[in-house]
Amino acid sequence: MQLKLPVVMDRYHRNKDRSYSLTFVTDLEMSKEQRDMIDEAWQSQGWLLFSPNEIQESDIPKDKAEIGRKSPSEILFNRMFVSWKERGIKEPFDTWRASQLEKIGEQYLNKIKQ
C-alpha cells in the first residue's frame, strides 16, 4: 500500500521524548480508495517522504520503518538514570553510571574466573 498525496506541512510540535508530531494538510479531494488507505494505515508504522516536489527513487528507504524501539543499551541507560535520580545520589550521573558499569563488568569477570 502506498498513499501519495500533495501536501503542505502545516505544523509541528516537539514532544517531551524529543520526537516530533507533524501535521500535513491536503486540499485534494480524495477518492474513497485514498480515504480507505488512510483509515487502514492509522497507527501503523511506515515511511513518510516529504520533499518540495522532488523525490528520487534512491531517496526511498528499502528497510522496514521501526519507531519507538530502543536498544538494550538505551533501556539500561534510562533505567540507571531513573534509579540515580530517585535515590537522590549526589555524585554526577556520568560518574555514578561509570562506576556501576564497572561493578557489573567485574561481576562478569569473576564468573569467568570461577
Q: Are residues 17 and 53 in the same domain?
A: yes
Could you tell me if residue 2 is inside a domain?
A: no
Task: Tell me what pLDDT residue 16 has.
Answer: 82
Q: Are residues 53 and 12 in the same domain?
A: yes
Q: Indicate the number of domains in the chain.
A: 2
Task: Tell me what pLDDT residue 109 has.
Answer: 92
Task: Tell me what pLDDT residue 100 has.
Answer: 96
Q: Are residues 54 and 23 in the same domain?
A: yes
Q: Which domain holds residue 23?
A: 8-59
Hey, what's the cell of 93? 550521573
Q: Are residues 84 and 108 in the same domain?
A: yes
Q: Are residues 16 and 37 in the same domain?
A: yes
Q: Are residues 53 and 78 in the same domain?
A: no
Q: Are 24 and 12 in contact (CB under 8 A)?
A: no
Task: Tell me what pLDDT residue 75 has.
Answer: 83
Q: Are residues 13 and 35 in the same domain?
A: yes
Residue in 31, 61, 66, 33 with CA at minimum distance from that of residue 49: 61
Could you tell me if residue 85 is inside a domain?
A: yes
Task: Tell me what pLDDT residue 68 has.
Answer: 66
Q: Are residues 39 and 76 in the same domain?
A: no
- Digit-by-digit pLDDT tens for the chain (114 residues) are 777 888 888 999 998 878 889 999 987 788 888 889 889 988 888 888 888 878 788 877 777 767 666 778 888 998 999 999 999 999 999 999 999 999 999 999 998 987
Q: Are residues 48 and 83 in the same domain?
A: no
SS in 3 state form for 18-85? Answer: CCEEEEEECCCCCCHHHHHHHHHHCCCCCCCCCCCCCCCHHHCCCCCCCCCCCCHHHHHHHHHHHHHH
Could you tell me if residue 65 is inside a domain?
A: no
Q: Are residues 55 and 87 in the same domain?
A: no
